[in-house]
Structure formats: structure tokens, C-alpha cells
């Protein structure tokens, strides 16, 4: 059984992915906060991705890394830089030094959020980030490309939409990713023998999708879920939003300056809506 390091495992996407991958891999979970209880096949190593020494310790002896850690919303530049720029570099560099060749990088739809909603885009479009957070994900994709080309690493970048058991609003009907479809994509990133450097969209097979996800299909992705089954209920409760947000795929990220970081420990969730 392969041992997989999952950074940022304590909240959000990590909680869904832990459940879906249980029993398939030995999971080494890493986060700033303690994680209890652990499931069967799980171990925990506390670590700050902004500290290279922590990442050297966390990555030692693993077969692959699923890098979810970082600042997960729009924030101040110092916060984004520390977690998503320095932190991302540390994960890749620690992997290189410890001879871990396989990484699944959690990029984001916000790397291309300034494309309009009436456009269908694929993995080959030029980046159009909608935020400092989106810029950090473009950086991560570029870093992944460098480490693949220069050091022979095998990296799959997933431009994740929104991971939830159900889509929660109209925008997410287009970008929803069910937990089991997420797990399928991550397993492809870990297992597919031909991956060198790939970009795919982390979305389910949504009828309303803004993405041509043929690159994921080429790698064997067959999504099991479609947000359309929830559409009537979601649209019935939808209310008009900001006109700029409604125009672009990135939604509110195109105009918000800083929001509360859901991954921060309680008492340190700084941020404000504008």
C-alpha cells in the first residue's frame, strides 16, 4: 500500500478526501492544527508548509504528495505569499530532496476566474487569475511545470471548482466537484503511469460546466456525478448577486479584497468583506 502525504488535511477538501481514500492508501496527514481522532491507516505529522524543515520531515519516505495546504481564499498579500508561494515552493523542494516524484497539486478555478461565464475553456487557455489567491495558484502551476521539466517529477494540477456533497448555489452548479469524483481525479494523479505535467479541471460531469475537461478524460477520468440533479432546488433559492460576480467564472473573487480564511485556527481568522 502506497503512503500518501496530504497537506492541509484538517479541514475542507482534506476531510472529504480522507474519507474517500480510506483503505486505498496509507495516509500521512499534515496540518498546523492537531488532528484527532485518526482513522485506520492514518498517521499525523504536525507541520507548517511555510517552514522547509517541517516539509522535509513530512515528505520523507512517502510515495506521493497531495498538496492541499495553504490559504484557501482571497487574502492580504503577506498571507497569500507565506502560505501559497513560499509554502508551495517548500513542498515541491522538499519532495525533490526526498526523492518523492509524484505530486497532485490543488490548483483552483480562480487561476482562470476572469474568463466570462459564456465561454467554455480548456486546460490550454492562458491564465487569467481573479485574485491574489488566483495568482498564487498560477505560480503553483508554473512551479509544477518547472519541477516536472527540470527534475523529472510527475505532477497533476487540478483546477478545483468547489468540493461539497451538494452544490450550494447557481455558480457552483457549473463548478461542483463531488467528493467521490475528487477521489477519482486524485487517484489518477497518483497512479497514472504516463503523467509528467498535466492540468485538469476538478469538476464533476456537470451539464452546466464552463470547462472542456477533455484532458482529464484522456487520462481516464469518468465522473460519476452531475450537479443537474440539484439544479431545481438550488435555483429556487437563488437571489441576484453582484453584477461583476455574475459575469465572470470566478464569482465574488473578482471584486472581494479579503475574506475570512476558513482554514485558520479559531481566533486567527482575520479578514473582511468589501
- Grid coordinates belonging to 6: 496530504
Provide the 3-class DSSP secondary structure of residue 160. strand
Set 25, 89, 133, 221: catalytic member: 133
Identify whether the C-beta of residue 201 lies closer than 8 Å to the C-beta of residue 109: yes
What is the signed CA dihedral for 179, 181, 182, 186, rounded to 10 degrees? 140
- Grid coordinates belonging to 135: 495568482
E-assigned strands of the chain?
A: 3-7, 26-31, 42-46, 64-67, 102-108, 154-160, 162-163, 176-177, 197-202
Distances (CA, A) of 173 to 118, 142, 158, 159: 14, 28, 18, 16
Does 133 qualify as catalytic in the annotation?
Answer: yes
Identify whether the C-beta of residue 72 lies closer than 8 Å to the C-beta of residue 15: no
- Grid coordinates belonging to 145: 511545470
Q: Return d(Cα 257, Cα 180) in angstroms, integer.
A: 32
Phi and psi torsions of 204, nearest 5°? -80, -175
Residues with active-site annotation:
133
Amino acid at each position: 500500500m502506497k503512503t500518501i502525504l496530504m497537506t492541509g488535511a484538517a479541514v475542507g477538501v482534506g476531510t472529504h478526501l480522507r474519507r474517500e481514500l480510506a483503505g486505498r492508501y496509507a495516509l500521512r496527514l499534515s496540518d498546523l492544527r492537531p488532528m484527532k481522532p485518526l482513522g485506520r491507516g492514518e498517521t499525523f505529522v504536525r507541520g507548517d508548509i511555510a517552514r522547509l524543515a517541517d516539509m522535509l520531515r513530512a515528505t520523507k519516505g512517502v510515495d506521493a504528495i497531495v498538496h492541499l495546504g495553504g490559504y484557501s481564499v482571497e487574502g492580504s498579500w503577506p498571507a497569500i505569499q507565506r502560505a501559497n508561494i513560499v509554502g508551495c515552493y517548500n513542498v515541491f523542494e522538499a519532495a525533490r530532496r526526498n526523492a518523492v516524484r509524484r505530486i497532485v497539486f490543488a490548483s483552483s478555478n480562480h487561476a482562470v476566474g476572469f474568463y466570462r461565464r459564456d465561454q467554455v475553456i480548456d486546460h490550454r487557455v492562458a491564465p487569467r487569475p481573479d485574485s491574489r489567491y488566483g495568482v498564487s495558484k498560477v505560480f503553483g502551476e508554473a512551479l509544477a511545470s518547472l519541477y516536472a521539466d527540470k527534475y523529472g517529477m510527475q505532477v497533476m494540477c487540478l483546477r478545483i471548482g468547489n468540493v461539497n456533497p451538494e452544490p450550494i448555489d447557481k455558480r457552483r452548479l457549473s463548478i461542483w466537484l463531488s467528493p467521490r469524483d475528487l477521489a477519482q481525479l486524485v487517484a489518477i494523479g497518483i497512479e497514472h503511469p504516463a503523467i509528467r505535467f498535466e492540468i485538469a479541471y476538478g469538476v464533476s460531469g456537470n451539464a452546466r460546466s464552463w470547462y472542456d475537461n477533455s484532458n482529464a478524460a484522456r487520462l481516464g477520468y469518468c465522473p460519476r456525478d452531475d450537479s443537474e440533479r440539484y439544479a431545481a432546488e438550488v435555483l429556487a433559492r437563488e437571489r441576484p448577486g453582484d453584477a461583476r460576480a455574475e459575469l465572470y467564472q470566478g464569482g465574488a473573487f473578482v471584486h472581494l479584497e479579503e475574506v475570512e480564511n476558513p482554514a485558520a485556527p479559531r481566533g486567527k481568522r482575520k479578514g473582511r468583506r468589501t
